[in-house]
Structure 1
């Protein structure tokens, strides 16, 4: 299958691209900086240079043409202000969902955040981030033409992945290595039955494949 990942040079995205390539899938990553192209190629992914803050729906749809699934893993990143949370974490996610719909790519997996809520209170940048993510999630859920899954990881770490997670509608708060987030994303992409689910993810005691199967059965 061909998978197109927005935010293709992110820490989770690069891990996911390696996993998808190793599993025999065709991965492509959308990046704004052409200087990142070689890193994507090294991860086994095709680089697609496109700025999601300025691109049109048609331009993003063209990048998604022929894909079997799309993953939104873009984010404004640490150190960015509230304005970028709105234009990237919300605006780019909405644009990407619209483009997937226009391109006829039904399967969309979104990397969100635990606690995301469009009505989240507070004046700090992180509060703006949770509102932006929550608004994007709500928009994605409203798109009847998309088979969406929303993944909300806990606190991200660069610890080595264990392959053992807790994955459910509600898990409680906790950390999770980026390695394991990428592993769960790969499993979700290969498990279309997870469409329509919003899942929280933290480190746990259940292997990724079993945790994904259990999430479907719930």
Structure 2
């Protein structure tokens, strides 16, 4: 399998790259800063230096040729303003969708944010977090509307850096809760292996069910 990850130097992306490379898949990560290439190489991934805020659809599509799937794991980060949240968390996700369509990539995994609060009134949250949620909602709408590829939207709970447990609660609705980034990466890996969840939106938090079992059970519903 050939997988290209947007936001290839993110914490979840680096873990996913290592998981994919350890089992022999071909993996590339899109990064803006060439200094990050060594970290991707350590994870077993090819680094593609490309700024998603300035790249054209054609330029990005050229790097996606031959890919079986793309994963959007990029983000402007907590210290960014509303404009960058829109240009990265929303617009870059749309750019990846446009490029995946142009390159004939069959699958798209979007790492989003949890729950119905994506569409909450701006006054519900502080300005920065509200802008982030609105950007994620816009990305979801754009990706979900595509018919040229099969998209799975993944909404994790509160992310942490503790070691993964290998066990989750996965469903269309899970309620809120924490989850290690390592377990989110493992869920993304399992979803890449489970096409029956293409076209679905799933939420995931820490839980008691082994990840592969949780993905298989949801796919069978």
Shared fold by TM > 0.5?
Answer: yes
Do structure 1's residue 61 and structure 2's residue 61 form an aligned pair? yes
Aligned partners of 1:107 and 1:162: how far apart in 2? 27
Matched ranges for 1:32-43 at <5 A: 32-43=32-43
Aligned partners of 2:17 and 2:118: how far apart in 1? 30
**CA distance 1:74–1:13, shift in 2 (3 Å):** same
RMSD (Å) for aligned C-alpha atoms: 1.0
Aligned partners of 2:116 and 2:190: how far apart in 1? 22
TM-aligned CA deviation for residue 194 of structure 1: 1.1
What is aligned with 1:161?
164
Aligned partners of 1:132 and 1:115: how far apart in 2? 14
What is aligned with 1:184?
187
TM-score, length-normalised on structure 2? 0.96
TM-score, length-normalised on structure 1? 0.98
**CA distance 1:117–1:105, shift in 2 (3 Å):** farther
**CA distance 1:117–1:102, shift in 2 (3 Å):** farther
What is aligned with 2:152?
149
What is the number of residues matched between the two proteins? 218
What is aligned with 1:28?
28
2:209 equivalent among 203, 206, 212 = 206
Unmatched runs of 5 consecutive residues or more in structure 1: none
Aligned partners of 1:18 and 1:201: how far apart in 2? 21
**Helix, strand or coil for the counterpart of 2:155?**
strand
**Helix, strand or coil for the counterpart of 1:47?**
strand
Matched ranges for 1:44-193 at <5 A: 44-115=44-115, 119-123=119-123, 124-193=127-196
TM-aligned CA deviation for residue 23 of structure 1: 1.5
TM-aligned CA deviation for residue 146 of structure 1: 1.2
TM-aligned CA deviation for residue 31 of structure 1: 0.1
TM-aligned CA deviation for residue 171 of structure 1: 0.1
Unmatched runs of 5 consecutive residues or more in structure 2: none
Aligned partners of 1:116 and 1:45: how far apart in 2? 34
